[in-house]
Amino acid sequence: MRKTYDREFKLKVSQDIFENNDTVKTVSEEYTISRPTVSRWVSEYRRYGVEMVVSIYPLILT
């Protein structure tokens, strides 16, 4: 079964890499997530920044 992660978690993982100068490999091992998955999140973070949460994964706000 495929694992899903919420938007806030993806943002946190991406920010951890930039704020702590960690590598994708280190963070993926720490959270037990595949490196390609973390790399994709980081790429989205580089492109959209904090807005990636809304831009890539829109929320319906009420």
CATH number of the domain that 40 lies in? Answer: 1.10.10
Average pLDDT over residues 14-39: 93
Domain membership flag for residue 62: no
In the predicted structure, residue 30 carries a pLDDT above the cut 90: yes
Domain membership flag for residue 1: no
20 DSSP assignment: T
Distances (CA, A) of 35 to 3, 26, 38, 42, 57: 14, 9, 5, 10, 20
Identify the pLDDT of residue 54. 56
The per-residue pLDDT for range 47-59, each reduced to its tens digit, is: 888 776 555 445 4
In contact, 17 and 23? CB cutoff 8 Å:
yes
Domain membership flag for residue 12: yes
- What are the φ and ψ backbone dihedral angles of 30, each rounded to 5 degrees? -60, -40
Counting the structural domains of the chain, the total is 1
Domain membership flag for residue 11: yes
Domain membership flag for residue 61: no
Q: Average model confidence (pLDDT) for the chain? A: 83
Domain range for residue 30? 7-55
Residue with more model confidence, 59 or 25 = 25
In the predicted structure, residue 62 carries a pLDDT above the cut 70: no
Domain membership flag for residue 31: yes
Chain CA centroid to CA 22, Å: 13
